[in-house]
Structure 1
Amino acid sequence: MTDQSAPTAISGSDSSVLIGRGVLAVTIGNMLEFYDFITYSFFAIQIGHTFFSSNSQYTSLMLSLATFGAGFVTRPIGAVVIGSYSDRAGRRPAMVLSFAMMGSAIIVLALTPSYATIGIAAPIIVIIARMVQGFSLGGEVGPTTAYLMEVAPPNRRGIAVSWQPASQEIAATAGALVGVLLSRTMSEAALDSYGWRIAFLIGAACLPFGLWLRAGLPETVDLQAVETHMKGARKRLGAVRANTGIIILGLLVLASGTIITYVGQYMTTYAENTLHVATELAFATSVISNGLGIVGALSGGWLADRIGRWPVMVWPQLAALLLTYPIFLWIVDTQSAWALLGGFGFLSLVGSIPYSAFYVALAEGLPQNIRGGAFATIYAVAIAAFGGTAQLIVTWLIHVTGNALAPAWYMLLATAIGLAAMAMMRETAPDRVAGTDR
Structure 2
Amino acid sequence: MKNRIIYMAGPIGWVWALALLLCHTLAFADVPTPPTTLPITCDYATAPANVVLTSTPVAASVTASYLLVDMTSGRIVSVNPATASFSNTPAGVYYAVAAYTSTTLVNATVGKLVSEVSDATGCVMWSQSVGIRVCSTTCDATTAPTSFTFTASTPPASATTTYVLINLATNTIAAISSTPTFSGVAAGDYEAMAVYTPGSFTAGVGASLYAYLNNITVNACGTGAVVSNGLFFKVCASVPPTIAITSPANTTTTSTNPPISGTATPLASVTVNAPGGQQCITTASAAGSWTCTSLTFTVGSQTVTAVASNTAGVSTTATTTFTVVSSCANPSVGGLVAFLGTLPLCNTTNAGNVTLSGNTGAVVKWQTSTDGGTTFTDITSTATGLSFTNAANNQQYRAVVNNGVGCANANSTPVTITTSAANCTVNCLVTPGVITK
TM-score, normalised with respect to structure 1? 0.24
TM-score, normalised with respect to structure 2? 0.24
**Larger radius of gyration between Structure 1 and Structure 2:** 2
By percentage of residues, which structure has more helix?
1
